């Protein structure tokens, strides 16, 4: 009886894990035109960013490494955002107020959205954060970078430029 129960639990949890994984858009595929719930800007859709390369950063206000890299993303935005590429942030916070407070205290000026229903988290494969996704001008995911990075360093700018084929 214990073996049947254990097997049943294994099947249920495996099915749930596979269901979540099945919704992830892999590198090389186009993003779905998903709605973006605004935090610092009005709500929008992913398609609003089509036509220019896009850097998407998945973060949360409680995530230390996410907080550590935000200043460099802000610097990258001030230098290149909206000109040669778009930069957006997507918070995975449960509470919009915590994310809004972090945006305010960090003086972030790039567009930020919230994903408290986990739609984007699943679609982008954000099982760990920070996660940064590089998307080409046609909406195709080109690269996923897990972990903290100094985004305004020469090495990161060169990597973004080479990956997205955009002169920065």
Q: In angstroms, rounded to a whole number, what is the distance separating the alpha carbons of residues 30 and 25?
A: 7
Q: Which pLDDT does position 2 carry in this prediction?
A: 53
Nearest to residue 130, comparing CAs of 78, 50, 72? Answer: 72
Q: Which pLDDT does position 1 carry in this prediction?
A: 56
Q: Which pLDDT does position 7 carry in this prediction?
A: 46
Residue 85, token pair as written in the block: 């590429």
Q: Which pLDDT does position 12 carry in this prediction?
A: 43
Please name the fold of domain 2-164.
Glutaredoxin (3.40.30)
Q: Which pLDDT does position 70 carry in this prediction?
A: 97
Q: Which pLDDT does position 67 carry in this prediction?
A: 96
Question: Which sequence spans correspond to the domains of the chain?
Answer: 2-164
Segment-wise mean pLDDT, segments of 10 residues, the chain, 168 residues = 45 43 80 91 93 96 96 96 93 94 96 89 90 96 96 96 94
Question: Which residues are CB-neighbours of 161 under 8 A, at least 6 positions away?
Answer: 167, 168
Global pTM value: 0.85
Count of alpha carbons within 13 angstroms of residue 30, beta-carbon side? 11
């Amino acid at each position: 009886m214990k073996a049947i129960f254990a097997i049943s639990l294994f099947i249920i949890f495996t099915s749930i894990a596979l269901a979540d994984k099945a919704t992830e858009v892999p590198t090389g595929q186009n993003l779905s035109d998903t709605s973006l719930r605004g935090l610092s800007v009005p709500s929008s859709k992913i398609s609003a960013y089509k036509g220019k390369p896009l850097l998407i950063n998945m973060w949360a206000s409680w995530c230390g490494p996410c907080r550590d890299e935000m200043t460099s993303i802000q610097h990258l935005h001030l230098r290149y955002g909206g000109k040669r590429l778009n930069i957006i942030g997507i918070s995975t916070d449960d509470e919009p107020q915590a994310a809004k407070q972090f945006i305010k205290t960090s003086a972030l000026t790039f567009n930020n959205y919230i994903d408290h229903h986990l739609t984007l988290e699943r679609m982008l494969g954000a099982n760990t954060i920070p996660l940064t996704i590089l998307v080409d001008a046609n909406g195709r995911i080109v690269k996923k970078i897990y972990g903290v990075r100094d985004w305004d360093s020469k090495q990161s700018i060169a990597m973004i430029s080479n990956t997205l084929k955009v002169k920065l």
